[in-house]
Amino acid sequence: MTGDTPRRPRRPAMLDPRDADELPGELDPALRDQVAHTTAAAMVHGARASEDPVVVERLVTLVEREGLDTVAGLWADSAPATLPGALWRLYALRDWVRRDPEVVALRYRLGVHAAPVAEVVAGVESPPGPDEVRSVADAVLSGVFAGDLAVALERAASFCRVVAVGATHDADERETTDPDAALRLTRGASALLRTAEDLEHAAALWRTDRLE
């Protein structure tokens, strides 16, 4: 690429996510990457073009209908700084919040005082409980398909940062009584921070039409 003009996102042919399951045999890496980009672009740009709240709702609840393994099969191997990679992180985050909202809410509460800026961007209602963290996870994904996608990515990143801080505090409190749990929490916090960084990078790419 030459010059200062940013690359435009690819607009591949439409492909329903279920079509990927019907492709014969094990996909080679190049074809799997193509399927990942095609399905992600079709979903995001298709939903934005339709402006249909029913479509948005179906996409937000994709994991409930298709299963996390199906979504992982489509996008989990995609690079973080890509549209399918960003979508995978958002769906995986929402699935975690839905499966364990009490723990997520607890760690969010532990983290809010140490990360006030991230708390504001994440936009979780106060006091943050299980219903509130579930609501923000749904709102983030809705924003991907019917709002400012960069803002949705930044909200998810900030949410991860707050929860990571809370997990670190939780780890500190358990260090003496349960060092194994403390280590797991510390590693989980590190993973959440990496996810936050990935989502922030994806948001920056989207703002300059370079998230493909």
Residue 16, SS3 per DSSP: coil
pLDDT for 19 beyond 80: no
Interval 63-86 mean pLDDT: 93
Mean pLDDT of all residues in the chain?
A: 86
Burial 52-91 (b: 16+ CB within 10 A, else e): eeebbeebbebbeebebebbebbbbebeeebbbbbbbbbb
Residue 46 corresponds to which tokens in the numbers above? Answer: 């298709």
110 against 7, higher pLDDT? 110
The whole-number pLDDT of residue 206 equals: 96
Q: Are 110 and 162 in contact (CB under 8 A)?
A: no
| pLDDT value of residue 118 | 85
Give the C-alpha separation, 154 to 138, whole Å. 14
Cis peptide before 127 (omega within 30 of 0): yes
Q: Are 193 and 89 in contact (CB under 8 A)?
A: no
Contacts for 128 with CB less than 8 Å, ≥ 6 apart:
105, 108, 109, 112
Contact 195, 163 (CB under 8 A): no
Give the list of residues 6+ apart from residue 205 with CB closer than 8 angstroms, or none. 81, 211
Q: Give the domain ranges of the chain.
A: 17-207
The pLDDT value recorded for residue 27 is: 57
How far, in Å, CA of 100 to CA of 134, rounded? 10
According to the model, what pLDDT value does residue 20 have?
42
pLDDT band at 23 (very low <50, low <70, confident <90, very high): very low
Q: Could you tell me which residues come within 8 angstroms of residue 114 by beta carbon, excluding any fewer than 6 positions away?
A: 165, 169
- Confidence label for 76 from pLDDT (cuts 50, 70 and 90): very high
Expressed in percent and rounded to 5, the helix, strand and coil fractions of the chain are: 75, 0, 25
* pLDDT above 90 (res 92): yes
**22 DSSP assignment:** T
- Given a cut of 60, is residue 153 above it in pLDDT? yes
The pair of structure tokens assigned to 124 is: 């979780």
When computed from its CA atoms, the radius of gyration of the chain, rounded to whole angstroms, is 18
